[in-house]
């Protein structure tokens, strides 16, 4: 199955789901989810698999066990190509349109310690700084969970304190409702984006792959 673009029905589906996030709505519209969301996302990621690897499509159901929000369904569909634990390339579609990204999305204490050690390093740290700066200059939004203060063992005036504060680090870009999301050309755009963010992913894999 080739990717022909996400249909308008995909955006409409998530617009409506945000209003009525109920099992009744889902049961009435699950065929729309399958044909307008899941199948196109699968087709898109399959066309990218030759270069980046097989993507995992996330389940549409929310884990509400420890959440005050008991809405049963996610209001977006994400897909992730993992090249290391919680590290890789991401794409999602939801009511706001399409978003792409890459980086590491979570890390346990041991891995986070390795990442911070690399950021602190006289050569590896400035390398990451240049990578992130170049992506930001190219229009990428640099995001991730951050500590409010300096991590333990590092001075608040460290030259790379902003990077050291990260508990996750990724670059993201929104396509929103750009007409390209409804066309096969989106595959080429995502391929280009993921290639552009490969420097960030590769740095993370080199310095904290596990």
Give me the pLDDT at residue 63, please: 87
Q: How far apart are CA 77 and CA 6, in angstroms?
A: 12
The number of domains in the chain is 1
Give me the pLDDT at residue 56, please: 98
Decide if 45 is inside a domain: yes
Decide if 99 contacts 174 (C-beta within 8 A).
yes
Which segments of the chain have a pLDDT < 70? 209-210
- CATH number, domain containing residue 16: 3.30.930.20
Q: How far apart are CA 74 and CA 92, in angstroms?
A: 11
Domain containing 17 equals 8-208
Decide if 60 is inside a domain: yes
Decide if 88 is inside a domain: yes
Decide if 3 is inside a domain: no
What is the Cα Rg of the chain in Å?
19
Helix axes 198-208 and 185-196, enclosed angle (nearest 10): 40
Helix axes 185-196 and 39-52, enclosed angle (nearest 10): 40
Decide if 73 is inside a domain: yes
């Amino acid at each position: 199955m080739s990717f022909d673009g996400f249909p308008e029905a995909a955006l409409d589906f998530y617009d409506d789901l945000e209003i009525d996030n109920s099992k009744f709505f889902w049961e009435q519209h699950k065929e729309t989810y399958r044909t307008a969301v899941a199948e196109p996302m699968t087709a898109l990621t399959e066309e990218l698999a030759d270069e980046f690897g097989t993507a995992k499509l996330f389940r549409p159901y929310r884990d509400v066990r420890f959440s005050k929000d008991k809405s049963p369904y996610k209001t977006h569909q994400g897909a992730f190509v993992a090249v290391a634990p919680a590290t890789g390339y991401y794409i999602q579609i939801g009511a706001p349109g399409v978003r792409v990204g890459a980086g590491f999305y979570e890390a346990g204490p041991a891995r986070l310690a390795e990442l911070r050690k690399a950021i602190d390093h006289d050569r590896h740290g400035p390398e990451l700084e240049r990578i992130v700066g170049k992506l930001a200059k190219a229009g990428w939004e640099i995001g991730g969970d951050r500590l409010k203060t300096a991590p333990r063992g590092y001075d608040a005036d460290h030259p790379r304190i902003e990077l050291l504060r990260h508990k996750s680090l990724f670059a993201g870009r929104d396509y929103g409702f750009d007409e390209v999301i409804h066309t096969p050309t989106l595959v080429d755009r995502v391929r280009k984006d993921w290639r552009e963010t490969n420097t960030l992913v590769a740095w993370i894999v080199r310095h904290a792959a596990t």
